[in-house]
Chain A
Amino acid sequence: MIQLEQVTKTYPKASRPSLDNVSVSIDKGEFVFFIGPSGSGKSTIVKMLLHEVVPNKGRVVVNGKDVTSMRSWKRPHFRRSIGCVFQDFRLLPNRTAYENVAFALEVIGKTKAVARRVVPEVLELVGLGGKEHRYPHELSGGEQQRVAVARAFVNRPLILLADEPTGNLDPDTSIEIMRLLDRINRTGTTVVMVTHDSNIVNQMRRRVIEIESGRIVRDQARGVYG
């Protein structure tokens, strides 16, 4: 599903590489944590999987597509197979929960009829049934992140990328979000999550890949934060 083969990335003007000869293979349906201190290169990996950053050396393959050599005009279509969730939710403040999710469908060419059928379903799935018509400012942080997860998942992506999704949430809410991501993972979606949250990593007992200074220092099948 995801392969990084001896990937090196040095940003212009940087003294040392952000990623240094990193190789990782993630299978379909896996749930993987990337952990490590700030500046270790975790975000660079997320950006590479989204084709926002291209490696200097090595190869990145996502969903069987070689991202390294992908032309930028192919990026939009490629993105449709990846759902994204971020620490800051990135919801549109002037749209309701329903409209936020529907927007993501409509801008990739789905009809309003499709949205009317699919959006309530996915909002129900993330536990927001009955709150479809609330605006983001009327929702709690956890609920906003649920909307974001719904938006990322509504198109049934093969991969869900979560970049510190619990970074802005209290521990209880974080655990609810993790339950949700776990449920999504059980539908067969590959989940890749970047986090600092040791509690969550320790509770989930999933594959942990630890990065430090651009190198993989640990890759454990049922790991803890350590």
Chain B
Amino acid sequence: MRMKYVMSEVLVGLWRNVTMTVAMIITMAVSLTMLGASGLIYTKVADMKQLYFENIEVSIFLNADVTDEQRSAIAAQLESDPLISQATYVNKDEAFQRFQEMFRDSPDLLSAVKADQLPESYRLKLVNPEEYKTISDQYTAVEGVDQVVDQSQVLDKIFNLFTAGQNIALVAAIAMAVAALLLVANTIQVAAYSKRREVAVMKLVGASNWFIQAPFVLEAVVAGLIGSILGLGALAALKVFLFDGALSALQGLFAPVSWGEVFLTFPVMAGVGGLISAVTAWVTLRFYLRV
């Protein structure tokens, strides 16, 4: 009977102040969506870094007029370099093939480039990808070398973009969380005020503190949980309409976001939403009811 009483009080409480409840749930949902999104971006960036850094290459492009002696000198130097784990020679034909593959969807570009326009190159795998700078300094000055290009430089820019996106989502999540927190505190105060007579009687006749507080705390927790369910819905919508929809052309570039990962954010969102609500409600009651 006590559980039934508490639950019916929770529903009545949420309904009595329904505009506030809706505001609380929406802010909570937006905040948790941002939190979930930033979590997803974080795991994706980590996945992608691993994926890309495994395949990362430093390319040494040779001059168009490189001589055979220069080429073999470079090959020998690369062979004996302890920083390099693997060096592959790519001649003009291979470079052109790669180019054709890469840009097969852009016939204009393909027809504009002839086979002998592309430079020969060495594709290097480094023992430690972060020692790019040393390699670059070492080989740029060598006769016959045009330039040394590190893919990780380009990737870093992309990753920085992701990290920035993640930070923005996180800041938005925190700002919305503060708003949600204040709304919870306010809702609980209003609820406690509208039930002040009941609370006074309960304190008088010796109802236990948890029994007095439980309906209020649970009211906030239920709102937090509804918020997290909405947040899950929003993330699912983001996946369907953004990743699998508008951004599907870039699928090869991004690591795909699986449903499993989307659903895995739910326990986190629900936990954070429920916990923040519960703690806020409880602290508010401590000050407001002094129970």
Contact = CB atoms under 8 A, between A and B. Distances in A.
Interface residues of A, number: 21
A107 B207 CA distance: 5
Contacts of A104: 201, 205
Interface residues of B, number: 17
B200 A106 contact: no
Interface of B, secondary structure class, is: helix
Interface stretch (A16-24, A75-83, A124-132): A75-83
Contact of A108 (B197, B198, B207, B209): B207
B206 A92 contact: no
B5 interface: yes
Interface in B196-226: 197-198, 200-209, 211-212
Given A106-B1, A107-B211, A109-B2, A92 B205 contact: no
Contact of A76 (B1, B5, B200, B208): B208
Interface string B1-36: 110010000000000000000000000000000000
A81 to B, nearest CB: 8
Nearest to A92: B197
B5 A106 contact: yes
A76 B197 contact: no
B1 A107 contact: no
Given A92-B198, A103-B198, 9 more contacts: A77-B208, A84-B205, A103-B201, A104-B201, A106-B1, A107-B201, A107-B202, A107-B211, A151-B205
Interface of B: 1-2, 5, 197-198, 200-209, 211-212
Interface of A: 73, 75-80, 84, 90, 92-93, 103-104, 106-109, 111-112, 151, 155
